[in-house]
Amino acid sequence: MIKEQLFIEAKKTFAEKYGVEHTIASFAPGRVEVIGNHTDYNEGFVLSAAINYGTFFLLTPNGLDHSRVFCGRTKEDATFKMSNFDLGLDGGGWAKYIYGSIVELLKGSDVVLPEIDAMILADIPLGAGLSSSAALEVSTAFAVAELGKISKTNLEFAKIAQAAEHKYAGVMCGLLDQLSSIYGKEDNLIMTDFRTIEVENLPLGDDASFVICNTKVKHALVDGEYNERRESCEKAAEFFKAKLGDRITHLRDVTSAELAQYASEMDSIVAKRAAHVIGECERVLACKKYLEEGKIEEFGKLMYESHDSSINNFENSCSELDFVVEASKSIPGVMGARLSGGGFGGSVVLLVHPRNAETIGTALANAFKKDIGSDCEIYYVKAFSGATVLNN
């Protein structure tokens, strides 16, 4: 399952740019984090979904002494050499995700690749918390692996993409975004245990879909907020290991009761960060059970609880996100809402009855314009299939 019209546009743009047809194409979707905020790097649990917005990556060998990459959205170019990565990348921003993914894919390999002409075309809104970066990394790795006939497992691909983000974008992300982009399944959520990296697809059912409200407030994870939260979680885990023994390696191992017992002995900020992650792990497991029992409205209530914790404990929300979540409570057909992704801006994901989705989107957009004074972006999202190499 792909987005046919966007693929047609991508093929046309590639041919116009380079004067030849592409020979390999891939697609990777973005993702929505439904519940399980900042639990991935704490070896916890997450419910996510690949979404029907993503990135196409097209390429062909070019016979030159360097590789060229073109971004169809921004009309920017970048160059590098497959034959000598030590020379680095000429081009920044979006191009570093591509460059990093290729370098990590080839690390330790004796595969020699030809120089390429490549192009990306995406329809994921940037800065919306829907992981445009992971879609770019994964689509790059899938296409270049196909070029070099390089065999990797899905988990290996996810780790390659994650390493690209760590080393070339400076964001110490977990594996959530990359795994979600790869393991997506139409009309299913993705349940991931980030200790074992076991992935399970769970049917969402016919009575639920998602509306994404992009506040267009730009989050800037590289500015240090993300890394500070991660460091606080690591400090909390070390604290509990000292108190409770070696069974504690990450916050996933701590219960709410244990947190309540020892919170007064902790740094207050670290205790709040821990409360969010511990609570999120418990909420994800409860949501999985509700999903299996068809209790979708109970699922939605826990999404609201999750957002409250983001406000009060993890402090990774903002006024615009909070407005959308609060406004959603008075709109018929909304069952739950919370920020999605790293936070500090970006998007709210709303769990809605499909028949009400467009009415809900319109109501939210109008309320946002009236109270915030700017326009938000509304996307009607369905759970989508994962990354793939495409038949041309």
56 secondary structure, DSSP code: E
> Is the separation of the CB atoms in 78 and 89 below 8 Å?
yes
Looking at 177, 206, 246, 375, which residue is catalytic? 177
Query: Would the CA dihedral through 289, 291, 293, 295 be positive or negative?
Result: positive
- C-beta neighbour count of 1 within 10 angstroms: 13
Cβ-Cβ contacts under 8 Å for 231 (sequence gap 6 or more): none
> Is the separation of the CB atoms in 280 and 308 below 8 Å?
no
Q: Is 246 an annotated catalytic residue?
A: no
> Is the separation of the CB atoms in 322 and 311 below 8 Å?
yes
Q: What φ, ψ does residue 215 adopt, rounded to 5°?
A: -75, -15
The H or E element spanning position 276 is: helix 268-293
Q: How far apart, in whole angstroms, are the C-alpha atoms of residue 106 and residue 157?
A: 11
Q: How far apart, in whole angstroms, are the C-alpha atoms of residue 249 and residue 225?
A: 23
Q: How far apart, in whole angstroms, are the C-alpha atoms of residue 213 and residue 377?
A: 6
Number of H helices and E strands in the chain, helices first, is 11, 12
Q: State both tokens at 147.
A: 């070029």
Mind telling me the catalytic residues? 177
